[in-house]
Amino acid sequence: MSETQVNIAINGAAGRMGRQLLAAVAERPDTRISAAIDAPGQASIGVDTSVLSGGEATGISVVDSVADALTNVDTIIDFSAPAVTLALLEVIKGSDKRIVIGTTGFTDAQLRTLEKAASDIPIVFAANYSIGVTVALSLLAQAAKALGDDYDVEITEAHHHHKVDAPSGTALAMGNAVADALNRDLKQCAVYGREGITGARDPKTIGFATVRAGDIIGEHTVLYAGNGERLEITHKANDRMTFARGAVRAAHWLSTQSAGLYDMTHVLGLKQHV
């Protein structure tokens, strides 16, 4: 582990992921919390981050102004909402800050804005920061290339009842991994749910099914179904710390990178940035 210390800000510190991120930063001796930000008017404003993470006192209180919080920060980790993330990118544009983005639910236009920002800012952007999911995406592409068009592809995902976007960003990332391997455009071949008399299945489609229930952290299964056999690749998350640790690892890796748009395959060395 590198001895270089990375100073991190958590945007959305009092959220479910924000609290996990604070704890994950505290686990590593080469990272420290330098700022924690939440929306104006929240009960967390002015509270020491240890109250949110359950750890030891840090002397860092949650603030409601991004611009005032970033003086001693190298990298920001942001799991918030698309509009909030894009506003944050505007604030740090032209600075020496880096950002790890775990926000999902972007529109195509918002994604183009994010991609444009990467020409000026080092950004890691991933739908899922789990190491296992990153490896699964590679396996899914390999399987799709080997199985080809003779196998139907269906993707099922399940999350807690608080999640506001569907399908999940991870499910869409999995769909894109399969579609790219099969030389398909996911926007053209995706089917999101079925109802009524739908007719026979188009073999070139990729189906999605969504479950929202209870406190499910995240489960994703990609089914390849052929005549006489089925192959399933499944990832199940049992603890949000899985995602938080991956995001903190990404933040540390990003500290030595130049401007560009990266994902977890770059962080893990599975793909080189072009």
Q: What is the mean pLDDT of residues 20-49?
A: 93
Q: Which residue numbers are catalytic?
A: 159, 163
What are the C-alpha distances in Å from 188 to residues 60, 62, 174, 191, 200?
A: 48, 44, 15, 9, 17
pLDDT band, very low/low/confident/very high, at 68 (cuts 50, 70, 90):
confident
Q: What's the token pair of residue 228? A: 């006489």
Q: How many domains does the chain have?
A: 2
Among 159, 144, 259, smallest CA distance to 212 is for 159
For 52-134, list the strands marked E by DSSP. Answer: 62-63, 75-78, 98-101, 122-125
Among 102, 74, 76, 71, smallest CA distance to 89 is for 76
For 132-237, list the strands marked E by DSSP. Answer: 152-159, 190-192, 206-212, 218-226, 229-237
208: CATH:
3.30.360.10
In a domain, 258, yes or no: yes
CB 169 within 8 A of CB 243: no
* Residue range(s) defining the domain that contains residue 196: 131-237
pLDDT of residue 194: 92
Distance CA 80, CA 210 (A): 21
How many other CB atoms sit within 10 Å of the CB of residue 71? Answer: 9
State yes or no: pLDDT of 274 exceeds 70. no
pLDDT of residue 65: 87
> Does residue 217 sit in the same domain as residue 252?
no
pLDDT band, very low/low/confident/very high, at 272 (cuts 50, 70, 90):
low
For tokens 């030595």, name the residue: 256
State yes or no: pLDDT of 273 exceeds 80. no
pLDDT of residue 54: 86
Q: What's the token pair of residue 77? A: 């980790």
In a domain, 109, yes or no: yes
> Does residue 215 sit in the same domain as residue 143?
yes
In a domain, 114, yes or no: yes
> Does residue 164 sit in the same domain as residue 121?
no
Q: What is the mean pLDDT of residues 134-146?
A: 96
Amino acid identity of 143?
A
